Chain A
Amino acid sequence: MTKINPIVIMRSPLARARGLGSARSGRGDWWAERLTSLLLVPLSLYFVLSVFLLEGADQAAMIRYMAEPWNTVLFLALITSLFYHIELGLRAVIEDYTHSEGRRLVTILIMRATVLFFGILAAISVLKLAFS
């Protein structure tokens, strides 16, 4: 008769309590980074095209451009995916190179607030141009 080995847990209870091992979270972030990068492939080319079209433009031309529904939507899509992707990317860099837990927490909070601020600023500006 074959003897079935009981399951042996090698990890100590202390390691478990301290949360050592895999991160257990981050799958969603990993996916979001890929999905936003896929979106940004066409959207960054659209952005370069827009810069060509808006070279030397005055405010009136800018308002005309952003008031086109396609441009409003594409610019909002660009801003959303760009700033989301930036948040994920910068967070990965901070997590890799900031070893002190307190400093990491503070740096990530400041980074997130900054990214959120400039993202909202860009989105509201596009909306204001589109509806003015």
Chain B
Amino acid sequence: MKDVREALLNGLNSQGQMVRRPLSPHLQVYRPQMTSVTSILHRFTGIGVSLGAILLSLWLTAAASSARWFAFAQSAAASIPGMIVLFLFTLALFYHFCNGIRHLGWDAGYGFDLPVARRNGAIVIAGSVALTAITWIIGLIIW
């Protein structure tokens, strides 16, 4: 036994035998559900948007540096790999945006009923895909 936490993992079962208390089931043994999948996606897209924010920072820095650097940044963004990265950034941003509003609802005490939470989750996924599609359609039309 290393520490208090370790000691607390040992206990008596209903038969009075010493047992190691079970740990709560983790990701790999859990059937994916709307609530867990949307929660995990919230974290992944949050990390994605963080990486996107670095690109935003570099884009602004290029603009503040020189006309040539900004032209380079703009052409990099308009290249095929650049567009793929920007597409993923858009998707992550809109997912985190929609699910973030769902989280604010929970913080305010609304939407805890399971059927409601499941429906909200579906709306968030559909909404973020739709917003991404609309953004790219508008973006490509005015380009």
Contact = CB atoms under 8 A, between A and B. Distances in A.
B46 A89 contact: yes
Contacts, number: 85
A99 B134 CA distance: 41
Contacts of B97: 40-41, 44
Interface of B: 4, 43, 46-47, 49-50, 53-54, 56-58, 60-61, 63-64, 66-67, 70-71, 74, 78, 93, 97, 100-101, 103-104, 107, 135, 138-139, 142-143
B24 to A, nearest CB: 14
A28 B71 CA distance: 42
Contact of B67 (A44, A51, A55, A58): A58
Given A38-B104, A93-B46, A121 B78 contact: no
Given A51-B139, A124-B64, A125-B63, A58 B70 contact: yes
Interface size class of A (residues with CB under 8 A): 35 or more
Contacts of B49: 86
A93 to B, nearest CB: 6
Contacts of B100: 37, 40-41
